[in-house]
Amino acid sequence: MTMRLGPLLLVVVLGLVLTPPTLAQNDARYIKFLTQHLDADPKGRDDRYCNRMMKDRGLTSPCKDRNTFIHGNKKSIRAICGEGGNPYKDNLRISISKFQVTTCKHTGGSPLPPCQYRASKDFRRIIIACENGWPVHFDESIISPKQAGPSPRDGSASFNPLLTQNSDGNIHCQWPEKEVSETSPDL
């Protein structure tokens, strides 16, 4: 029995030692992404919603300037890292489907609490960064879905402009072979 247990124990120990620390749901970056951006069952989606959610999620010390909550489930958001998304610039992924989102924008002048937020809600395609098949960073969302053209599964380009807003509030207008960006704090 000792002879059989020894090799088996060695395989188990080697498996634990060689397993990457960034696996699945225990990954700190994935958990942080979920904490900052996932709200599967929103209540309200108005300014009070933003004030409550930003405080409850620990995003008000100091006041975070802007945060987007995605109203989908973990499985549909994770799918963007695979078949539910297409490659996008700089190792990002853009969702094929639109998601219901609420963006909360800080309206006060001071970064110190109490923080006040203004809510804007929409259905948008979202752009995220993935690591090992798991979402770890919300980058931006589509501003004008009607202008963005179709969302083909093959990732082929559209000849309509694609307007996006990144997490810092910068607006980008992309045309085939052309890109213009502009900062607009009011969107």
Tell me the catalytic residues.
37, 137
CA angle 105, 96, 73 (to 5 degrees): 65
Residue 172 φ then ψ, to 5°: -125, 135
CA angle 134, 32, 79 (to 5 degrees): 25
Residue 160 φ then ψ, to 5°: -95, 155
Q: How far is CA 129 from CA 8, 70, 83, 174, 176, in A?
A: 38, 14, 14, 19, 22
